[in-house]
Chain A
Amino acid sequence: MDSLAFYGVPVASRLLLGTAQYPSPSILKDAIERSQADILTVSLRRESTGGSGGREFWKLISGMGCKILPNTAGCHSAKEAITTAEMARDVFDTDWIKLEVIGNADTLQPDVFGLVEAARELSAQGFKVFPYTTDDVIVGEKLLSVGCEVLMPWGAPIGSGKGLNNRFALKAMRAHFPTVPLVIDAGLGVPSHAADAMELGFDAVLLNTAVAKAGDPVMMAEGFALAVKAGRLAYRAGAIEARDMAVPSTPVFGQPFV
């Protein structure tokens, strides 16, 4: 039984999907279905679900039968992120929050100092915090110490599509936190990047741009779903070690040790 749970809630899919930037709500809906994602991230700021706002959009998202993980995308300080999280709790009726505290509007790097501060405050208020962080293990430890039970390190800068930028740090992070659910949160471009992350033992991946901005987002959603499954199977199966020389599968005469 290969199960995954966030804050004690079982999750059916290891692919988490963002809901921004799709060509239309219909295409978003089809992409979600094809991805078989079980958790959707939703940005509170832009889809303005309050009042008469994006009610139609919110209806579509909530009608998909997935768990909603509201995010604080675009927040630049702990205070702003906390306010957004509190609004999100009211609007989406969930205590889950994907916490983003952006340090620089241009590079979209997480401000890890503000992140820890906001995570402490939100955890104290009873939120289940999913922090978008770097691959720094000490920051990860601080986040766990203030109450986080999941870490979401970046693969590469948001929207860059570069894949796993620092495999060394990510492998170290996996080794350092063997039992904490780790989700690669940003920077993936193609399904092989997702398979790569899963093969390294990450528990799940979160995507948005790579699917939303693909030529055919629905087809790309399926591509990622298959890659995540393939990568997870490879991790569980246990991969062979790479080596520099060929390994003949039958003996070579005259070379007893080859």
Chain B
Amino acid sequence: MKIAVIGAGVMGLVTAHHCALRGGTVTVYERRAEAGRGCSWYAGGMLAAWCEMESAEPLIGELGFESLAYWKTHFSHVVEKGTLVIAPPRDLPDLKRFAARTTAHQWIKRDEIAALEPDLADRFETALFFDREAHLDPRETLAALKTKLIDEFGVSFVMDHAVTAEDCDADYVFDCRGFEARDALHDLRGVKGEMLILRTKEVSLSRPVRLLHPRIPVYIVPRADHHFMVGATMIESGDRTRFSARSMVELLNAAYAVHPAFGEAEIIEMGTDVRPAFADNLPRIRRDGKILRLNGLYRHGYLGAPALARRAAEIVFEQKSFPEVER
């Protein structure tokens, strides 16, 4: 079966993979010169299905558990060290609320926090530890996925080339363009996110740390070479360019609250892009003849894309249907 995938972000690449796994002849089209340079590039890469249940619908948990298994099966980059959720003592009610809304966590105290993250010793009294969660480096993972698709499955990539779904010469077309697909998905909206990459040798973290705060819930994800991703704002806006001073203050303030050494860190990168979302913040597969549009992953790209892609591939290759996402 001849498959065209439009968009080489996380949604497009995992869709190409699921189609290739089922024997499809896959071509990926990407308007940019390189893969994964849309909002996939700026993601935290947290495979945090349990934490996300604090505010997300149960479907996100279901997709998240499946996607975690996918990443672990196919990639060696997944770091399985859980997630630490912390709050300053005065925001303990927020931590209690978080615990009440989630499962698969344990309350830990100073000593256990110190054992998990020595640099946070004596900084926080209590925390929640989600030991089943994992994280990955989105940029490294997408590069590895693209290489895998080319080397192991002979997937073709047509880069720097914008195509329309209608013009693709294929049996099925998967439209994975994210926010760009507003021309076909009129109810798609943008939720802007801003993130920073900092570098400091003065702090080490082994796992993502989420800081709860009434105004600025922020997470810090450790990356290789003393880099830390700090994110991310959530603003109802389709603007993908401006990084506001206020957002910078809030992100840095939160990082500083986690550890003052972040105040001395070097700012390596300021990133901003737009998450594609539907009104209920849940992803969908919309079918229009031979075109399937996979979109609306919101802040759950790496958490949701593999499970959504598997469903889309089975719709085409196995004539299955998935009412939970075909809406």
Contacts and interface: CB of A to CB of B under 8 A. Distances in A.
Contacts of A159: 214
A24 B280 contact: yes
B205 interface: no
B61 interface: no
Interface stretch (A53-61, A81-89, A121-129): A53-61
A48 B239 contact: yes
B279 A48 contact: no
A25 B281 CA distance: 8
B202 interface: no
Nearest to A25: B279
A46 to B, nearest CB: 6
A29 interface: yes
Given A213-B97, A215-B100, A57 B280 contact: no
A27 interface: yes
A55 B235 contact: no
Nearest to A29: B279
B189 A57 contact: yes
Contacts of B101: 215
Contacts of A48: 235-237, 239
Contact of B235 (A29, A46, A161, A213): A46
Interface residues of A, number: 21
Contact of A57 (B188, B236, B239, B282): B236
Contacts of A25: 189, 279-281
Given A57-B189, A159-B214, A215-B100, A26 B280 contact: yes
Contacts of B236: 46-48, 53-54, 56-57
A52 B238 contact: yes
Nearest to B54: A23
Nearest to A47: B236
A47 B280 CA distance: 17
Contacts of A54: 189-190, 235-238
Interface in B86-114: 93, 97, 100-101
Contacts of A215: 100-101
Interface string B252-289: 00000000000000000000000001011110000000
Interface string B51-85: 00001110000000000000000000000000000
Contacts of B189: 25, 54-57
Nearest to A215: B101
Contact of A51 (B93, B97, B239): B239
B215 to A, nearest CB: 9
A53 B237 contact: yes
B261 to A, nearest CB: 23
Contact of B239 (A52, A161, A213): A52
Nearest to A159: B214
B237 A23 contact: no
Interface in A90-117: none
Contacts of A57: 189, 236
Among A46, A53, A56, A60, chain B packs the most CB atoms within 10 A around the CB of A56
Nearest to A27: B280
Among A27, A47, A57, A215, chain B packs the most CB atoms within 10 A around the CB of A57
A55 B279 contact: no
A27 B279 CA distance: 9
Given A56-B189, A215-B101, A24 B281 contact: yes
Contacts of B97: 213
A60 B56 contact: no
Interface in B157-187: 187
Contact of A55 (B56, B100, B214, B238): B238
A34 to B, nearest CB: 16
A29 B214 CA distance: 22
Ranked nearest first, the 10 interchain pairs of A and B with the lowest CB-CB distance are A56-B189, A54-B236, A26-B280, A24-B281, A57-B236, A53-B237, A25-B279, A23-B55, A26-B279, A47-B236
Interface of B: 55-57, 93, 97, 100-101, 187-190, 214, 235-239, 277, 279-282
Interface of A: 23-27, 29, 46-48, 51-57, 60, 159, 161, 213, 215
Given A24-B277, A54-B237, 17 more contacts: A24-B279, A24-B280, A24-B282, A25-B281, A26-B281, A29-B279, A46-B236, A48-B235, A48-B237, A53-B239, A54-B189, A54-B190, A55-B189, A56-B188, A56-B238, A159-B214, A213-B97
